[in-house]
Amino acid sequence: MFVGAQAGRNYPAPVSAIKAMQEGAKLGRDDAQKIEANTFIKLAQTSAARNLVGLFLSDQYIAKKSKHWEKQAELPVKRTAVLGAGIMGGGIAYQSASRGVPIKMKDINQKGIDQGLAEAAKLMTKRVESGKATAASMAEILNRIEPALTYDGFAEVDLVVEAVVENPAVKKVVLAEVESTVKPATILCSNTSTISIDALAENLARPENFCGMHFFNPVHAMPLVEIIRGKKTSDQAIARTVAYANALGKKPVVVNNCPGFLVNRVLFPYFAGFSMLLRDGADFQAVDKVMERWGWPMGPAYLLDVVGLDTAVHAQGVMAEGFPQRMVKTFKPAPDVLYEAGRLGQKNGLGFYNYEKDKKGKPVKVPTRDSYDLLASHVAPAKEFSDDEIIARMMIPLATELVRCLEEQIVASPAEADMALIYGLGFPPFRGGVFRWIDEQGLNRFIVSALPFADLSPLYQVTEDMQQRAKEGKTYY
């Protein structure tokens, strides 16, 4: 029972292995081996097994591509810097220092520096308490983080990650400032999650040395780093940035510039599907439960609370401006209603759920009538939806947008797209990725499942290439 609860119903192998051992223990060697072989044969034919093998192969593929990029780097990245301390800057500084790459952490005031150092120290303390590090190694790692209030010493830096507030005007000023202090070969990266890399490069003297380097929060835990190529970004800038991501132990995926890049571009259609469900009378707790049973680590309401409703509303505006034909709001969605009521999610303890801290200080979600009351005048009367309809209305917008990214060459391959969503969003690994999920059911079936919702929004309308592929019986893998 314990193993089954830990593995979850979507991963049958652990429980099957225990059962095979229990049955085999009562028998002789030859009969026990027959049970083991039969168990293996059954498991090998499951969807989970096929998809996890596919996931392994895709992971090997992106590792090979990142190593290929790294080999092209003509100069090493030995010293780095992060602009903007705080939680994100502190996380980047910790990750760099813990992997042996010294890093300057600059902020405009001591409060920011203190916050960034505190974040790095907190992460290191957890490792010491869990026995994964010693006090001596903690001191050594933290000493690789050099706090700074000025650009003194930036001439020695090989790569800079800008992680200041998500405001294009501020970012442009900061990037231009730091460019004037570093050596000509230094690579500048922006940790922006939505702002156009080409727009941020406008005021730079050396735009060929600039690209996006989008970390996911929390930095130490999320494997993915999106490396975003702008129109003027050079191969060397990409190669050296990928090399740095590899040095940090991350999974870099190179994508081309567009609003939201890859992961956020496909995440917001998923959130839009959620908002349309709530508008039409669905219960957000019911939607969360269905999507968690489907395999997501958390449902959309909970995820929005973790992301931050203020962040989500801001990013959705960027996406709507970039893709007005599909992502402009035609009604007032639930995240906007809650945000305007001062509910920001986990960061202030009030979102779709309320949050209380457990004994370890971790936020625990608590259902509340408050959010239902705030949403009542903006949504239809309560209505039950089948699990299949909830899944379709959530997943079709995400999947079709990801297909558009492949067709537009924002991402180079289905494997890279799938791994980006698994490593960046926690897409269910046992499903192998969005493209494997589409292939498994077949494009024809996917298109038929989208038809009933085509009038809801352009987000549910499949592409011409998808229709042509379906006619020709093609798959993505």
Active-site residue, from 68, 214, 220, 314: 214
**Within a 10 A sphere around the Cβ of 352, how many other Cβ atoms?**
29
Q: If you ran DSSP here, which 8-state letter would residue 456 be given?
A: T
Is the peptide bond preceding residue 333 cis, with omega within 30 degrees of 0? no
Tell me the β-bridge partners of 255: 228
Strands, DSSP E only, in 321-442?
A: 354-357, 363-366
At residue 145, φ and ψ (nearest 5 deg) are -100, 115
The per-residue DSSP string of 236-293 comes to HHHHHHHHHHHHTT-EEEEEE--TTTTHHHHHHHHHHHHHHHHHTT--HHHHHHHHHH
Phi, psi (degrees; rounded to nearest 5) at 273: -60, -40
Burial (CB count within 10 angstroms: exposed 0-12, middle 13-18, buried 19+), residue 364: exposed
Contacting residues for 97 by C-beta, under 8 A, at least 6 apart? 103, 120, 141, 142, 144, 145
Is 214 catalytic? The answer is yes
Q: Residue 236 phi/psi, 5° resolution?
A: -65, -40
C-alpha of 403 from chain center: 17
Catalytic residues: 214
